Structure 1
């Protein structure tokens, strides 16, 4: 779960936990435990790990929090929530849900948090969440979702956090997230994403955090991130990115942290980060970089941390600008002792920080 997710969910749970008092509750399923909050009356229904195979009936009409995690529920039928119109939080993680009826959540206009993590969901019903006008958090991680379509998220104009890690996504289509105009956090890590449409992130003007860690992305299309004007953190670690251009990162004017660890980058254009004046943390370790123009960092006044280790640095005259910048910067570099030459043979394992101009030759 992301840092942003934890912070935002913590705020929700603080709100949901205020003024809680335990009282006996009538109309509670026998197998569950119910308790009631002091006025206005709202009940918490705890059916966690009770061996349920279907969504429970006979729920108290003032149910506010519903805990159904670790049961054997296989599907969500139409009007499952009609009897509990005040419901604000539902936890259905680690069940066996395969299907969700398009009207399963009909009438749940006060729902703020829906946790469907760790089920067997392969597809989301078109417009299935459109009644959830106040939903802020939707957890869909560790399912089998392979395709995204904009109609799946229709009506979710207040959603702030969408978690989709550990699914079966192979591509991000155009306009897939377009209805999510208030989204702040999008976690797509640990999927199989190979291709990103140039219009994949259309509509996400409020997004602050995008996680694409552990996928199979090879290239970032020009302008793909252009809609993300508010983005502060982008994680592209553990992919197959081999090239990166200025146009690929266009639009990330507010980016503060960029993580590109463990990719296949061999070369970076000197202007690739020139439109990121707020960048304070940049991670490029674990790539195939042999040389780098150190002058690219002189236009990054906010840079505080730079990670460059585990690259096959070729210590010749072409790396002199990087060595010179390293000697002048106040930014924290990935352990300086970990930045070592791989070639030429006579400088192998020599620290970049100890190099001198006269030792750096360029051979024909």
Structure 2
């Protein structure tokens, strides 16, 4: 394509619509030193496309759509000094992607989608001086891969890094500029910056740092520019800045510092620019005045909630009105709101001990489980006292506390999802440098009413307009009571029925079987009338025919003839004929007396019958006549 351009040294192909480059495209430009291919639509680089460019020093491929870099893509570019691959869509870098680049000094991979860096990806780059990895998706700092003895600038800002491990940069002894701002860094190891004696600029701003421990920057003897603004730093320890004797710029603005770090900053004699605006500082001591006046040429302490009270008297007495920072102290307390401290008479800078005006709940002091408890602890005093609430559990909650209990600066206390453990005595403490006060409040927590049971509306006909109304609503106790009552009632009724049955069974035992047995001669036909009494005391009779074997009397029939005992005639003949009937005296029926045989003895068989029953009485054969006189007479009862 570029035939007859053998002496070409610079080729600009940027901002075109080039989507691909064929292998051999640059084979006729062996003296090419600068190649600009940025701003095109390249998605990949074929292997070997740069073969023959042995004098190429500057290669720009940024602002394309490349997603990866094949291994050994630049392996023959041994004279390459600058390689720009930023603003692409690269998510991973394979091993040996930058192999055999012994003279490479600047590698730019920013604004891609790189999530991690594997071991060996940046090997064989002994002359690399600047590595740009900002604006990617890195979550950690690789500590082994960056073995660049000549590296001076390392940019890792605008990633998702959360912590800086120990000895993270110990393999870069010549590192001068380290950019770590705009990450999510909340933890820094005490030895994170060990070995960086040549570090001049350290940017850690816009992270999530909360404190700066002692000796964090120890050994950074060349550090001149330290930027820590826009974090959430609450505290600086006395020896945080020990060992950084060359520091000139210190930016701590946009943090949560409550006091001016006079002692901490006293160890930095070289500081020239100090930014402390937009913090939470309320007072200044006279030592702060001396340090700012004598040592720091540029100071910004504006936009702090200055409390102009007795704690500022010593600082106010040193003010002369000639220093620029004196115009930055604007009072925010109610008595001197928006007045400059330099314009207030020192005699008006007074204090008042804290006093709790009220500590109460809304309408009453009871709340139901699961609800939100609102309380107000209103306090007064100069300076404004800090509020601490002690819960019934013993926990101390302040404005800095979080979670279920929230204490606001104005004394409003909110407890969400109240439980039975939240009932009890609450203590509100108002404290300031000049004193403290407290007040108590008792809170009751009521048990939550059980949930009601409702019935959903169900369409049982399949027609949209045909629905059932909702079932009656029952509370859970009523429903449980109904079920338990029904079960208990059923059990009670069953017990009563069982008791009645047992009593009746004990009172009326089953009838003893009749032991009278009729024997018939196989050649004789006889009819025997047997008598017996049921359990009610009434007699019954039954005719038995000869079946040819012994037979017990059958059960009584539903319709029976009733009989009564009658007196036998005076002289009863022994013949079959019956005597004249005598008027019988009616008597109450009684069951005949029987001598029950033991259960283990069989009753003796009756004597054989030889005659047929005649008349009202049965005649037994082989019985003496005298014995017949003792037999009872029976006759049917007549209805009147």
Comparing 177-186 with 217-226, greater Cα deviation is found at: 217-226
Asked whether 1:72 is paired with 2:11, we answer no
Cα displacement (A) at 1:361: 5.7
Q: String of CA shifts for 1:339-358, please: whole Å, max 9, x gaps.
A: 642579xx96239xx8979x
Q: Which structure has the larger Rg?
A: 2
Q: Secondary structure at the match of 1:321?
A: helix
In structure 1, what is the Cα distance between the partners aligned to 2:11 and 2:434? 68
Kept in 2: contact 1:237–1:262 (CA 8 A): yes
Q: 1:341 aligns with which of 280, 286, 302?
A: 280
1:58-83 Cα offsets, whole Å, 9 max, x none, are 36121110000011111232222211
The answer to whether structure 1 residue 90 and structure 2 residue 35 are counterparts is yes
Partner of 1:161: 106
| Change in CA separation of 1:287 and 1:362 when aligned onto 2, cut-off 3 Å | farther
- Give 1:201 shift: 0.8
CA distance in 2, matches of 1:303, 1:150: 40
Structure 1 distance, partners of 2:23, 2:435, is: 73
Bigger relative contact order (CA 8 A; separation at least 6): 1
Q: Is the 8 A contact 2:228 2:252 kept in 1?
A: yes
1:221 maps to 2:162: no
> Quick one: distance in 1 between partners of 2:279 and 2:263?
16
2:128 matches 1:183: yes
Partner of 1:208: 152
What's the CA shift for 1:363? Answer: 10
* Structure 1 residue 148: Cα displacement: 2.2
Partner residue of 1:129 out of 43, 66, 74: 74
CA distance in 2, matches of 1:284, 1:363: 34
Task: Report the equivalent of 1:321.
Answer: 263
Distance 1:151 1:57, change over 3 A: same
In structure 1, stretches of 5+ residues that fail to align are: 1-55
Equivalent residue number for residue 296 of structure 2: none
Structure 2 unmatched runs, 5+: 284-302, 316-382, 384-431, 437-640
Q: Superposed, which structure 2 residues align to 1:5-24 within 5 Å? A: none
| CA distance in 1 between partners of 2:239 and 2:135 (Å) | 35
> Alpha-carbon deviations, 1:267-290, whole Å to 9, x = none?
222111102111111000011101
Kindly provide the CA deviation profile for residues 110-165 of structure 1, in whole angstroms up to 9, marking residues without a partner as x: 00000001001111110110100000000111001111234000000100011111
Equivalent runs, 1:163-312 vs 2, <5 Å: 163-202=108-147, 204-312=148-256
**Which of 103, 106, 131 in structure 1 is aligned with 2:51?**
106
| Residue equivalent to 2:349 | none
Q: Partner of 2:9: helix, strand, or coil? A: strand
Please tell me whether the aligned partners of residues 294 and 321 of structure 1 are also in contact (alpha carbons under 8 angstroms). yes
- Equivalent pair of 1:129/1:156 in contact (CA under 8 Å): yes
**For residues 349 and 86 of structure 1, what CA distance do their matches in structure 2 show?**
66
The CA distance in 1 between the partners of 2:170 and 2:83, in whole Å, is 25
**Structure 2: how far apart are the matches of 1:355 and 1:113?**
64
Cα 1:112–1:348, aligned 2, differ >3 Å: closer, same or farther?
Answer: closer
Paired residues, what number? 298
**Are the counterparts in 2 of residues 173 and 199 from structure 1 also a CA contact under 8 Å?**
no
Give the direction of change, closer, same or farther, for the CA distance of 1:59–1:222 in structure 2 (3 Å limit). farther
Q: Which residue of 2 aligns with 1:45?
A: none
Listed one character per residue, the Cα deviations across residues 235-260 of structure 1 (whole Å, up to 9, x for unaligned) are 01100000112222222221111000
CA 1:362 to 1:143, structure 2 compared with 1: closer, same or farther past 3 Å?
Answer: farther
Greater mean alpha carbon deviation, residues 306-315 or residues 218-227: 218-227
Q: Distance in 2 between matches of 1:355 and 1:190?
A: 49
Of 290, 300, 306, 1:350 maps to 306
After TM superposition, where is structure 1 displaced by more than 4 Å over at least 4 residues in a row?
354-357, 359-364
Give, in whole Å, the separation in 1 of the partners of 2:88 and 2:16: 16
Cα 1:108–1:287 shift into 2, 3 Å: same
Q: What is the CA–CA distance in structure 1 between the aligned matches of 2:195 and 2:226, rounded to whole Å?
A: 17
Q: Taking structure 2 as the reference length, what is the TM-score of the superposition?
A: 0.44
User: Is the 1:252–1:275 contact (alpha carbons within 8 Å) kept by the matching residues of 2?
Assistant: yes
Question: 1:130–1:155: 8 Å Cα contact kept in structure 2?
Answer: yes
Change (3 A) 1:330 1:227: closer
RMSD, aligned CA: 2.7
Matched, 1:332 2:276: no
Deviates more, 1:174-183 or 1:223-232: 174-183
* 8 Å CA contact retained: 1:209, 1:232: yes
TM superposition shift of 1:315: 2.6
SS at match of 2:123: coil
